[in-house]
Structure 1
Amino acid sequence: MDAAVGAARDLGLTVTDARVLHDLFSVVVHLAPSPVVARVPTVLPAHTDLDVLADRQRAELDVTRWLADQGTPVIPPSPLVPPEPVRRDGFSMTFWQFVEEDRSKEPDYAANSEITADLHAAMRAYPGPLSFLSAADPQFVTDSLDLLGDSPDLLAPADLDRARREWQVLEPLVRSRTAFEKAFPGVDLQPVHGDSPPANVFAGVDGARYADFELVTLGPVEWDLAALGPDLEAAYNRGARRNGMRPLNEDVLRFVNAVGMLRAITSLTLVPQFPALLEYLSPAVDQWRTTPFAGGVAG
């Protein structure tokens, strides 16, 4: 919070009543009375240094600014400061327009899943470069599987053995666009949100807005529906039909669900930074044990 306030003042913003809006993987600070919000990532994989983080943040800023210019309802970068990540006190942060939240609204994940198809339709024309499935962060998965070998208290050896064997099947399809397209012929790739947009629709007093594009990537639309289940998949397909887009591909869903489960399991390595994460991840590990090996994706 101190870093965000100091950086904002250096940028010429008046900040006298800053308050934390959110504190989970990032600290989100309203720099009141300025209509600006700083987002400061704080829980990061070991390989994500400030240069890597800043590159990711630049992509997020560029995509959201472009979407806002097209009239897509997003939380846009703040127009009061340059649209660039700012470093201060060992953090890299971004600055966003403050939007008043409608706290009376309960999340409607079915509606959010349906309008995710609207977001995908809008993102198809984004002209900027994006890396293939960077949101999967394969280096994090690989590194974490190594680290978990020294942490049997976080993941049992038998579970770790299965996770490593699954990653041998899935990793080539995550790292290589060519391998993915060979495995899933005819499945188109496009810019996607990268981080479960149905869970990242912000209820503003002026209506719903798409938010948190930190993991924006090039990939199949299925990536944004990973692990949400058949009811929300059906809601997305309604939106896809309305936009003249294809329905979700069942084979690709199995793939992204399997990768998503491995990402959840390997996120156990972040527990020392964020102990409360364990209670969220333990049910995911239990669920993973009941699923087909590598989601049924053939090696």
Structure 2
Amino acid sequence: MEPSDLRRAVEAGRVTASELGLQVDDVVVIHDSDRVALRLLPCDVLARVAPSGDRADAAFEVEVARRLARVGAPVAELDPRVEPRVHVRDGFAVSFWTYYEPVGPGIAPADYADALMRHHAALRRIDPTDLAAPHFTDRVAGALRVVNDRERSPELAESDRRLLSTTLGELGAAIGADTAGDQLLHGEPHQDNLLHTGRGPLFIDLATCCRGPVEFDLAHAPEDVARHYAGADHELVHRCRAVDWAMFSAWRWRRDDQLPDRDHWRVAGLDLVRAALDRCGRG
């Protein structure tokens, strides 16, 4: 966020927590992007603060978290001391989560795969008709609209625009055409969304929940993880990875994207798309 918006977001999180009876003497910014994550002390709560325009996404994330907690999924849970809902203050949507202290140097591929398999098993216990999760192709279509709209992505070179448009439009449609193995997914279970905690690996950022093949999730994880995931279609993982990197690149080329180190990721993202296409024979 812009510095002025970040200050307002921190204050919105602090004041909302205080009004709910949580003691807040200090606020630590854990993550700062289009939305922020704040550690509130000494109550030790994680507040997620997003622009109020993203209230629907925040509410969806809270609902997904509630349902997954009931079926024992390996996910970060909402803080039990406050009502599980989104609070709106000063143009921001605020939700409150349990804070988990990170432990250990990292998560081994086999443990990562085990956590993802358990997460997928828990998601299969949720009736998809009760949860309005989009299909992953809806997200692909959103990225494609950014690529095809020169006003929204004015700095994207035409050759790179064609690369992303073809990858998202043609390869995304080809993957989405076979829905036989679709189920509810995390949506973006990459390394930054998997915490190594004293309770074991726990997934966060549940607003990306969508429907599709498990290989779409595996494509977000480190490559070694798929080797430990029973029954994975590795060729499909490679194709999904190309589409995933194309979506990532599309978001980075948005005129208003606020990801830290965006200029680096604009270049690196395109390189990763090309490498992924070469890997699956579509370079």
TM-score range, shorter chain: 0.7 to 0.9
The one-letter code matched in structure 2 to 1:208 is P
Q: Which residue in the other structure is 1:266 paired with?
A: 250
Q: Which residue in the other structure is 1:119 paired with?
A: 119
The one-letter code matched in structure 1 to 2:73 is T
Aligned partners of 1:170 and 1:292: how far apart in 2? 10
Structure 2 alignment gaps of length 5 or more:
1-9
What's the TM-score, normalizing by structure 1?
0.77
In 1, are the aligned partners of 2:75 and 2:204 still within 8 Å (CA)?
yes
Structure 1 alignment gaps of length 5 or more:
43-48, 175-179, 238-246
Q: Which residue in the other structure is 1:79 paired with?
A: 80
1:128-277 matches, cutoff 5 A = 128-134=130-136, 137-148=139-150, 154-170=155-171, 172=173, 180=176, 183-184=177-178, 187-197=180-190, 199-228=192-221, 230-237=223-230, 247-250=231-234, 252-270=236-254, 272=256, 273-274=258-259, 276-277=261-262
The answer to which of 72-81 and 165-174 deviates more is 165-174
1:27 paired with 2:29, answer no
Aligned partners of 2:174 and 2:119: how far apart in 1? 25
Aligned partners of 2:66 and 2:150: how far apart in 1? 39
**Aligned with 2:207: secondary structure?**
coil
1:13 paired with 2:13, answer no
What's the TM-score, normalizing by structure 2?
0.81
The one-letter code matched in structure 1 to 2:265 is Y
**Aligned with 2:232: secondary structure?**
coil
Once the two structures are TM-superposed, the CA of residue 144 in structure 1 deviates from its matched residue by: 1.5
Once the two structures are TM-superposed, the CA of residue 54 in structure 1 deviates from its matched residue by: 2.5
Q: Which residue in the other structure is 2:106 paired with?
A: 106
Shift in alpha-carbon separation, 1:116–1:290, aligned structure 2, 3 A: closer
CA RMSD after TM alignment? 3.0
Shift in alpha-carbon separation, 1:269–1:90, aligned structure 2, 3 A: farther
Pick from 265, 283, 287: which aligns with 2:268? Answer: 283
Shift in alpha-carbon separation, 1:141–1:56, aligned structure 2, 3 A: same
Shift in alpha-carbon separation, 1:139–1:13, aligned structure 2, 3 A: farther
Aligned partners of 2:228 and 2:281: how far apart in 1? 24
Runs of 4+ deviating beyond 6 Å: none
In 1, are the aligned partners of 2:24 and 2:42 still within 8 Å (CA)?
yes
The answer to which of 209-218 and 226-235 deviates more is 226-235
